[in-house]
């Protein structure tokens, strides 16, 4: 029996593989303009790296990691994201000693044991970027602008950027307690998963997909109202810089991320054409992580695009663009057939012109006025009018739309080839 690929793991063939390369090249071109340079990271790390970086009580660490003991018993994990590895490399190679600011990008496969569906796979790819050494709002604004530029480069103009501030070590613990109290109050109405979250990770109460919990979470306290002054001011400055640059975003006060290392500015990007797995990118500030992984106290911010979802979004955007273009096809000649006696000649003329390579729109069965309105809407430069008078003499009237001028009996029905083209005013 033949052996198939593992569930949630796919092959990339032909045009799909080419699209991935194309997107990756475009994204990297933008990232390099922003000064990010490539780092090639291992796919395998010690399990404790991810547990410590992402958080012991996150879904990723609790149930989605591919973890196994190496031959000597060391627990290893196939990377479920890139940030932890980038930070480990930053610390391990003392990159802060080369320059006060370090900007790295990476791309490649990521592994999460999630339930596979459209846009959600167990092996997927990310293109990520991490900026170390800047804690000022200008860095956040620059990173978000970079995200926007990647989206625009890929033709994803309708993708939406959602931002929020998650506070920091001084204001978030207090908020977490308020949220926990709210959770306790509503314990009986929450799903079993959320009941567990009350104790373990109350922030995730805002991110439950269950309808009941989602409705209820609208009554939950918002972090926005608990931010300390420095966090509130940082967020306000990021927003005003984005406003000044015309980078469009929406503030989503309920946005929380599935990884625990975020502080202050956090964001997600959603695109059209993806169904329920609409997030094509996510990121944010993680000022405490470098120190938590044994490095110096250095601020950082970054993001990762999901390449598989970008590919779906780009495909959807191209299909829409093609549809629009098809709808916007402008006929070179519009033939207006007025009355039953004109139909056969109208059809014959349309066919002769089409065979000569002319885009013809043929319409009839309505008043001249409504046919002209449609010809105008389609942007047809000329309308060949066939009424009873025209059919009687076998010569059609040509209306030049921009000049609003009629040439009576200008087109002999029996013309062929170049003579016909010339008569209707279509150059070959």
Residues that bind ligand HAM (CB under 6 A): 81-83, 112, 114, 119-121, 124, 126, 128, 130, 258-259, 279-284, 302-304, 306, 308-309
Start-to-end C-alpha separation, the chain: 60
Considering beta carbons, is residue 113 or 180 the nearer one to ligand HAM? 113
Token pair recorded at residue 310? 């970008």
User: Can you list the positions of beta strands (E) in 286-394?
Assistant: 300-306, 333-337, 360-364, 382-386
* Residue nearest to ligand HAM as judged by C-beta position: 306
Considering beta carbons, is residue 90 or 303 the nearer one to ligand HAM? 303
DSSP letters, 19-69, are HHHHHHHHHHHHHHHTT-EE----SEEEHHHHHHHH-TTSHIIIII-EEEE
Considering beta carbons, is residue 261 or 334 the nearer one to ligand HAM? 261
Considering beta carbons, is residue 49 or 356 the nearer one to ligand HAM? 49
Taking the complex as a whole, the smallest distance from the CB of residue 305 to ligand HAM amounts, in Å, to: 6
Position of tokens 């060391």?
74
Taking the complex as a whole, the smallest distance from the CB of residue 249 to ligand HAM amounts, in Å, to: 16
Considering beta carbons, is residue 144 or 371 the nearer one to ligand HAM? 144
Give the DSSP H or E segment for 209: none
Cα→Cα distances 81→106, 254, 261, Å: 11, 23, 12
Considering beta carbons, is residue 126 or 201 the nearer one to ligand HAM? 126
Taking the complex as a whole, the smallest distance from the CB of residue 113 to ligand HAM amounts, in Å, to: 9
**Do the beta carbons of residue 138 and residue 160 sit within 8 Å?**
no
Considering beta carbons, is residue 130 or 140 the nearer one to ligand HAM? 130
Taking the complex as a whole, the smallest distance from the CB of residue 231 to ligand HAM amounts, in Å, to: 18
Taking the complex as a whole, the smallest distance from the CB of residue 307 to ligand HAM amounts, in Å, to: 8
Which residues on neighbouring strands pair with residue 66, listed in sequence order?
A: 78
Considering beta carbons, is residue 28 or 358 the nearer one to ligand HAM? 28
- Name the residue among 373, 273, 376, 359 with its Cα closest to residue 323: 273
- Name the residue among 137, 127, 159, 135 with its Cα closest to residue 30: 127
**What is the maximum alpha-carbon separation in the chain?**
97
Q: Kindly report the backbone phi and psi dihedral angles of residue 311, in degrees, each rounded to the nearest multiple of 5, phi listed first.
A: -60, -45
Taking the complex as a whole, the smallest distance from the CB of residue 234 to ligand HAM amounts, in Å, to: 17
Strand order in the sheet with 44-46: 44-46, 75-78, 66-69
Taking the complex as a whole, the smallest distance from the CB of residue 5 to ligand HAM amounts, in Å, to: 15
Taking the complex as a whole, the smallest distance from the CB of residue 11 to ligand HAM amounts, in Å, to: 15
Beta strands 263-270 and 160-165 are antiparallel
For residues 108-131, one letter each, b for 16 or more C-beta atoms within 10 angstroms of the residue's C-beta and e for the rest, the string is bebbbebeeeebbbbbbbbbbbbb
Taking the complex as a whole, the smallest distance from the CB of residue 406 to ligand HAM amounts, in Å, to: 58
Close Cβ partners of 51 (under 8 Å, ≥ 6 residues apart): 61
Considering beta carbons, is residue 22 or 59 the nearer one to ligand HAM? 59
């Amino acid at each position: 029996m033949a052996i198939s690929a593992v569930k949630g793991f796919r092959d990339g063939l032909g045009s799909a593989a080419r699209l991935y390369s194309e997107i990756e090249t475009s994204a990297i071109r933008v990232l390099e303009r922003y000064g990010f340079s490539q780092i090639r990271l291992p796919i395998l790390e010690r399990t404790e790296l991810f547990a410590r970086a992402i958080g012991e009580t996150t879904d990723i660490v609790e149930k989605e990691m591919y973890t196994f003991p190496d031959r000597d018993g060391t627990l290893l994990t196939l990377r479920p994201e890139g940030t932890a590895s980038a930070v480990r490399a930053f610390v391990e190679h003392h990159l802060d000693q080369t320059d006060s600011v370090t900007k790295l990008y990476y791309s490649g496969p990521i592994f999460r044991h999630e339930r596979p569906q459209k846009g959600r796979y167990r092996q997927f790819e990310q293109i990520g970027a991490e900026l170390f050494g800047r804690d000022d709002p200008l860095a956040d604004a620059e990173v978000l602008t970079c995200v926007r530029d990647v989206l625009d480069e890929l033709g994803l103009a309708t993708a939406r950027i959602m931002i929020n501030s998650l506070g920091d070590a001084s204001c978030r613990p207090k908020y977490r307690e308020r949220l926990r109290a709210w959770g306790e109050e509503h314990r009986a109405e929450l799903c079993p998963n959320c009941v567990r979250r009350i104790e373990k990770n109350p922030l995730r109460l805002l991110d439950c997909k269950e309808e009941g919990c989602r409705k209820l979470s609208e009554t939950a306290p918002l972090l926005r109202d608990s931010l300390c002054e420095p966090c509130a001011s940082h967020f306000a400055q990021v927003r005003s810089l984005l406003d000044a640059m015309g980078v469009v975003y929406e503030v989503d006060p309920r946005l929380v991320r599935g990884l625990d290392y975020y502080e202050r500015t956090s964001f997600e990007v959603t695109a059209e054409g993806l169904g329920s797995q609409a997030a094509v990118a996510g990121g944010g500030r993680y000022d405490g992580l470098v120190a938590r992984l044994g490095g110096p106290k250095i601020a950082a911010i970054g993001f990762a695009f999901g390449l598989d979802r970008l590919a779906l979004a780009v495909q959807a955007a191209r299909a829409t663009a093609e549809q629009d273009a098809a709808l916007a096809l402008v006929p070179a000649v519009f033939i207006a057939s007025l009355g039953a006696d004109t139909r056969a000649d109208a059809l014959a003329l349309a066919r002769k012109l089409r065979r000569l390579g002319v885009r013809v729109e043929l319409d009839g069965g309505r008043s001249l006025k409504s046919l002209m309105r449609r010809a105008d809407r389609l942007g047809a430069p000329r309308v060949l009018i066939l009424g009873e008078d025209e059919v009687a003499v076998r010569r059609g009237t040509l209306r030049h739309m921009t000049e609003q001028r009629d040439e009576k009996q200008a087109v002999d029905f029996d013309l062929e080839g170049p003579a016909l083209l010339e008569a209707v005013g279509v150059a070959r």
